[in-house]
Amino acid sequence: MGYYICVETGVNIYVEDINREGRRTILFVHGWPANHRMFEYQFAALGRQGYRCIGLDTRGFGNSDKPAHGYSYDRMADDIRAVVEALQLQDITLGGHSTGGGVAIRYMARHNGYGVAKLALFAAAAPSLIQRPYFPYGLQRQAVEQIIAATHNDRPQMLRDFGNMFFFQHVTEALADWFFQMGLQAANWATAAVAESWLDEEELFTDLGKINVPTLILHGIHDRVCRFPLAEAQHQGIAGSRLVPFEESGHGLFYDQRDKFNEELARFVAE
């Protein structure tokens, strides 16, 4: 079932709600530049196991409204709060991929984990996607600036280039095009604005220490977008967290090793 939730005046977020009668709920926050459909292999498998799976399209992406503003981690975390309140969700597992993982971390810190019993991070863009003087493990700032420039100049080619570094396992041309089409659904300005937020966002370093729920970290060791040392930093910064390396995965670990991914996530939710 799909529907819209108003998160602020004039801005509606699209939500796909699978198996509403499920015994436990997982709220998925997708990564840049995709939408909720990137988790369709999780919705299918986990839905069959009796879980309620909710996927939202963050503002500017997928079927959600595409305003000119509101692409900071704070605002996107506030959008999650609006969804949680509107659906009256309690004791859920909040799962986020890439930028969605960073936004999920911000949600936990900014909203004190409202409604969340467990946190799952999938190749999360945290504590920093880019290299900083005190954190040399991310992408070079120049690489992100080139992504932003390419978004403004030739977004389809930028999306093709990004797709080429997303998966570690071989994917068919059809699947690569499926991922490409998700990126095209986003607004140009939203795609660029979220990428610009990667350059400015530094508070995730302190946000990690504010997380006080069981946390699962799934991360591919061949990730070329959010490199594996980011996962190690998350593990170090979140007390009691569990890190599971994916030996045959890149950034798209939910597809590269989807059976392992689904098994690890289902086990964590059921614990």
Could you give the CA distance from residue 135 to residue 256 in angstroms, rounded to a whole number?
Answer: 28
Could you give the CA distance from residue 98 to residue 157 in angstroms, rounded to a whole number?
Answer: 21
Tell me which residue of 270, 251, 267, 260 sits closest to 38, measured CA to CA.
Answer: 251
Spot the catalytic one: 98, 128, 197, 249. Answer: 98
Adjacent-strand bridge partners of 92: 116
Spot the catalytic one: 128, 197, 251, 256. Answer: 251
Contact residues for 66 (Cβ-Cβ < 8 A; gap 6+): 59, 60, 186, 187, 189, 190
User: Residue 118: which H helix or E strand, with range?
Assistant: strand 116-122
Adjacent-strand bridge partners of 146: none
Spot the catalytic one: 223, 235, 249, 256. Answer: 223
Q: Is 197 annotated in the active site?
A: no
Vertex 77: Cα angle to 71 and 81 (nearest 5): 135
Adjacent-strand bridge partners of 25: 52
Q: Is 161 annotated in the active site?
A: no
Residue with tokens 């946000």: 207
Q: Is 223 annotated in the active site?
A: yes
Contact residues for 30 (Cβ-Cβ < 8 A; gap 6+): 36, 38, 39, 55, 56, 57, 58, 61, 62, 97, 100
List, by residue number, the catalytic residues.
98, 223, 251
